[in-house]
Amino acid sequence: KNQVEQSPQSLIILEGKNCTLQCNYTVSPFSNLRWYKQDTGRGPVSLTIMTFSENTKSNGRYTATLDADTKQSSLHITASQLSDSASYICVVSPYNFNKFYFGSGTKLNVKP
């Protein structure tokens, strides 16, 4: 069964600290993995997209890593800011591009 699981469900960190969010998937055959940021009351916004041949991709203070062998990805946030408070969603696509498997997200709260 194709699944995407994210951990932790929620996380509280202090402003300026780093954090890492995890995504494990069983989707096969794998094509690409995406990370989205969803602010409260808004739609998700794309942060990164990685194919099976990419190990890491950065977007400013956000760095995503991918290990296609172990079917794991992480999103590392450096020097967190209050504006990073949001839900972060991992999405995996198989070679059938009509499908997107969404994780349930990690809710990050950055406190001053």
Partner 1 sequence: DADVTQTPRNRITKTGKRIMLECSQTKGHDRMYWYRQDPGLGLRLIYYSFDVKDINKGEISDGYSVSRQAQAKFSLSLESAIPNQTALYFCATSDSGGGFQPQHFGDGTRLSIL
Residues 55-94, one symbol each (x = binds partner 1 by CB under 8 A, - = not), give: ----------------------------------x---x-
Peptide bond into 8 cis (omega under 30): yes
Which token pair is 57?
A: 């991709």
Query: How many CB atoms are closer than 10 A to CB 91?
Result: 20
> Which residue from 16, 104, 109, 111 is in contact with partner 1, where contact means CB under 8 A?
104
Q: Is 45 in the site for partner 1 (CB under 8 A)?
A: yes
Burial 46-80 (b: 16+ CB within 10 A, else e): ebbbbeeeeeebeeeebbbbbebeebebbbebeeb
SS3 83: helix
Q: Which is nearer to partner 1, 31 or 72 (CB)?
A: 31
Q: Which is nearer to partner 1, 63 or 93 (CB)?
A: 93
Q: Which is nearer to partner 1, 11 or 15 (CB)?
A: 11
Q: Give the residues lining the site for partner 1 (CB under 8 A).
A: 4, 31-32, 34, 41-46, 49, 51, 89, 93, 97-105
